[in-house]
Structure 1
Amino acid sequence: MTSKDQKVLIIGTGTFGASTAYHLAKRGYTNVTCIDKWPYPSLDSAGYDINKIIRTEYDEPLYAEMALEAIQAWRDPMYTDIFHETGWILTTLGDPKAVTHLQKSYENLKNKGQAHNIDFVAGKDEITRHVPQLKNARDIDNWKGLWNKQAGWAHAANAIKKVADEAKAMGVTFISGAAGEMVALETSGDRVTGIKVRSGDVYAAEKYVLSTGAASPALLPELSTQLWSKCWTYGLLELTEEEAAQFKDMPVVLNHELGFFFEPSTEGRLIKICNEFPGYQWKQGTYTDEAGKGHKYSIPRYASEYPQDGIPKEAMDAIKNFISTVIPQFEGREIKGAKVCWCTDSPDAHYLIDTHPKYPGGELLLATGDSGHAFKMLPIIGKYIANALEGNFKPEWKYGNRKHLDSGRPGDEVKDLADVGIGERQARL
């Protein structure tokens, strides 16, 4: 039986960390501390963003069920002015993998009695009936996909802040700066005895939750066998007040081959545009396994540390192509605030929520491997992590050999940042 007064240390205050702190506090845990390099919401978290998609379509039944649970939680008054249920339209130009994903997603929702929320669409007339803001889009008659009214977006950074604020109000302690930045595990034999931070302090606890997202392999290199840290790119388009009014309450629009965008933010009238591609890696980590064999692996190159990077030219070109194709009335306008956003994928796109096998005492719980679909679970994922902390694990999330499955992301070549003008080569200029 887990004691509610045991000391729990959570490393990382992004989506997984903040939600875990909140749910542990709700369960009556009285000695919970969260540490992070940054005050919450952590600048390096994938959830540090103006908006993220909230959706229910999954070709994996487990996540379809969780997404339906999560969207109910998003409707709680706690998320008023944070969650916007605008609906969304998920389309493709005909990629076979995307079509299969749509079909499986529909079947999963149908099996959950949710098919009434969905409408199949094809061509300009059907699509613009749901999203009139696409009336100027080029080649839209070649689009086909799903409209789902049970979807939308949330202001991501504000949502994490809200959850962490609630956790703090229930007694959770938050530490940031050098005193909150983990640099190493302290161990004794096969036991974890503490977390060493940048200031030199060591925090000891009875349970540790590593919810450090893309930084997880950099902190514990052995996790590079389980996780692959990658980044994606986005840019911001500023609208006038009149333009923003025309796009207000617009459903989220995603095209599998081109990218996606949202209605304008309330702060600054900014439309966020993301190009679709398999992501970039930065293969700068080195790990020597137990057999003495060396491995190179990807580690984050965070925008907070390298603000001068921006995004690769090819990514900027893809964003501009999205604009000229989908919202051509804004063609040629300046792209502002172009940045990368780091996530960490697992081979089969399942989360990694399990005790670290190197420490059989079970004191170190790994809660990472978002695989690009974690933020939408913010209101509920901490419940599942808390369950794991108490010994109730989901087999899909276990540490170990996982099959490499198609993630649903377009393309199959993950380039290194150094090969597209950022990182290693740029540093030598």
Structure 2
Amino acid sequence: MALSKHSSIVIIGAGTFGISTAFHLAKRDYTNIICIDRHPWPSPDSAGYDLNKIIRTEYEEELYTELALEALRAWRQPMWDGIFHETGRITTTSGDPEAAKNLKESYENLQRAGAAASIEFVEGKKQIVKFCPQLAGASGLDEWKGLWNSEAGWAHARKALEKMASESEKMGVRFVSGPEGTMTGLELDATNMLLGIRVASGDIIKADRYILSTGAASPGLLPDILSTQLWSKCWTLAHIELTDEEIEQWKGIPVVDNMELGFTFEPDPETKLMKICNAFPGYQCRQGEYTDPETGKKTIFSVPRYASDHPEDGIPAEAAEGIERFIAAVMPQFSGRPLIQARVCWCTDSPDSHYLIDRHPQHPSLLLATGDSGHAFKMLPIIGNYIADALEGSEQGLKKEWRYGGRKEVRNVTRPGTEVKDLRSVLGIQDVGDMSKL
């Protein structure tokens, strides 16, 4: 059936990709849009359900440099007043040659895009403190070198998702949560034709078009095609609490990001919390299992162990130590403070860090929109426009870099280290079994 403005469209997942897509489809006057998720919007399982997310333009890939510059222009629109904070960003390495190469390529891409005027090279404590005087007491900055970019900053991620979802609802998008909104699989007929989306209530949701934007949950929902194409991983974050005086002192600092240690943001005056993330290659949770019915080949893959289901998990001790190392190097005056609201944040990586936005290889009415690879949220204001293009069959959204299959592994140097441990193992959870050795 040809797509029309009255076609029924079901978006699965109320996170960054899903909410942005709902918003942009509604802006295009589509009148029959449902967005489902097991949680009310915005989904707490989404990587975007967070206090801060970095908004940056530095990419070693030209495609994402252009997209990030487009997104930055969108973030500056009145819709995002009070949500986007253009504080600037200091991005550095402590000496990793691959990280230094990444920063150099990012700068050159911005040069080619005519957007390098906002960039300055920084090296050592003196130059870094020039852009962030609050780091004057730091003891670990002398080995840092990298880029200062005034055209960067951060967004209050949860508020941004709430804003876009609320605007989508006003335009007629219907959000469904609970068992009625929890996808469990595809409903197929005897000829393998897609009939609808099965949900936990036992119902089947039928539509003219479907968009799967389920982030880290995607491999588990479509294991036949995604368990070998995407890798769900989580990263860790925590916060420290500041006094009113400290909040005033640290107000407006740039994002401080060291590719080997981690990053932090200015404190949030509402909660008095300052978010800090350590840098490492992520954790996995290899509890997913799929057996090909034709070949009998078994695939063991990572599936999310969401903080919403396991709030008691917190973060592994080694991750807390990584966050404490960052504090000791960058903000030693805060050393020893309790880490508050520590949790994991799930994303799903593609082999080459490109998004996966393409039609399902067997079901043309189902569009895949996932594979965020840890750099999707900054595109929130615009990514739904590209997904809407893909739904309409436009090459603007069906980019060759985003196609399903045929990806070659490319190391993401923004994630130091190579060993991706099993989350359950480092938490000391006993149900790991032999899967952690695979």
- Indicate if the aligned counterparts of 1:82 and 1:159 stay in contact, CA closer than 8 A: yes
> Take 1:372 and 1:61, find their aligned partners in 2: how far apart are those partners?
17
Aligned-pair CA distance for 1:265: 1.1
User: Which residue of structure 2 lines up, in the alignment, with residue 287 of structure 1?
Assistant: 290
Question: Structure 1: which amino acid aligns with 2:371?
Answer: G
Give the structure 2 partner of residue 241 of structure 1: 244
CA distance in 2: counterparts of 1:67 and 1:345, whole angstroms:
19
How much has 1:191 moved relative to structure 2? 2.1
| 1:38-53 equivalent positions in 2, closer than 5 A | 38-53=39-54
CA deviation after TM superposition for structure 1 residue 292, in Å = 1.2
Task: Give 1:145 deviation, angstroms.
Answer: 0.5
Asked if structure 1 preserves the Cα contact closer than 8 Å seen for 2:247 and 2:269, the reply is no
Residue in 1 that maps onto 2:380: 378
Paired with 1:313 and 1:105, the residues of 2 have a C-alpha distance of 33
Q: Within 5 Å, which residues of 2 pair with 1:27-426?
A: 27-188=28-189, 189-222=191-224, 223-289=226-292, 290-359=294-363, 362-392=364-394, 393-408=398-413, 409-425=415-431
Q: Secondary structure at the match of 2:137?
A: coil
Residues 50-100 of structure 1 show CA distances to partners (whole Å, capped at 9, x for unaligned) of 110000000000000000000000011000100000000001111011101
Between the aligned partners of 2:198 and 2:284, the Cα distance in structure 1 is 27
Q: CA deviation at 1:424?
A: 4.1
Q: In the TM superposition, what is the alpha-carbon distance from 1:288 to its structure 2 partner?
A: 1.3
Please say if residues 278 and 323 of structure 2, whose CA atoms lie closer than 8 Å, have aligned partners that are also in contact.
yes
- State whether residues 36 and 176 of structure 1, in contact with CA within 8 Å, keep that contact through their aligned partners in structure 2: yes
- 3-state SS of paired residue (1:344): strand
Q: Which runs of 5+ in 2 are unaligned?
A: 434-438
Q: Which residue of structure 2 lines up, in the alignment, with residue 4 of structure 1?
A: 5
**Residues 89-133 of structure 1, C-alpha deviation per residue, up to 9 Å, x if partnerless?**
001111011101000000000001111100000011110000111
Output the amino acid matched with 2:89: W
Normalising by structure 1, what TM-score? 0.97
Q: Structure 2: how far apart are the matches of 1:135 and 1:61?
A: 35
Measured after TM superposition, the shift of residue 425 of structure 1 is 4.4
Amino-acid identity (%)? 61
Aligned letter for 1:216?
Answer: S
Aligned to 2:436: none
Is residue 15–residue 46 contact of structure 2 (8 Å, CA) maintained in 1?
Answer: yes
The answer to whether the Cα contact below 8 Å between 2:353 and 2:412 also exists between their aligned partners in 1 is yes
Structure 2 contact 233–304 (Cα < 8 Å) conserved: yes
SS at 2:130 equivalent: helix
Listed one character per residue, the Cα deviations across residues 382-427 of structure 1 (whole Å, up to 9, x for unaligned) are: 0110011011211100001210001121111111112212544489
- Give the structure-2-normalised TM-score: 0.95
Whether the aligned pair in 2 keeps the contact of 1:309 and 1:422 (CA below 8 Å) is no
Contact 1:6–1:31 at 8 Å: present in 2 too?
yes
- Rounded Cα–Cα distance in structure 1 between residues aligned with 2:127 and 2:4: 56
Alpha-carbon distance in structure 2 between the residues aligned to 1:419 and 1:372: 23
Aligned partners of 2:316, 2:268: CA distance in 1, in Å? 24
Residue 139 of structure 1: how far off its partner (Å): 2.6
Q: Distance in 1 between matches of 2:61 and 2:428?
A: 35
Report the Cα distance in structure 2 between the residues aligned to 1:273 and 1:208, rounded to whole angstroms. 37
CA contact (8 A) 2:354 2:373 kept: yes
Unaligned 5+ runs, structure 1: none
Could you tell which deviates more after superposition, 221-230 or 13-22? 221-230
State the AA in 2 paired with 1:96: P
Give the superposition deviation at 1:25. 0.5
- Cα separation, 2, equivalents of 1:52 and 1:226: 26
Report the 3-state secondary structure (helix = DSSP H, G, I; strand = E; otherwise coil) of the residue aligned with 1:5: coil
CA contact (8 A) 2:359 2:366 kept: yes
Q: What one-letter code is carried by the residue in structure 1 that aligns with 2:409?
A: H
Amino acid at match of 1:342: W
Instruction: After TM superposition, give the deviation of residue 219 of structure 1 in Å.
Output: 1.0
2 CA distance for matches of 1:424 and 1:82? 41
C-alpha distance 426-285 of structure 1, shift in aligned 2 (>3 A): closer
Worse-superposed segment, 316-325 or 288-297: 288-297
Stretches (4+) displaced over 2 A: 421-427
Say whether the 8 Å CA contact 2:425–2:432 is kept in structure 1.
Answer: no
Alignment CA distance shift 1:426-1:295 (3 Å): closer
Is 1:346–1:352's contact at 8 Å kept on the other side of the alignment?
Answer: yes
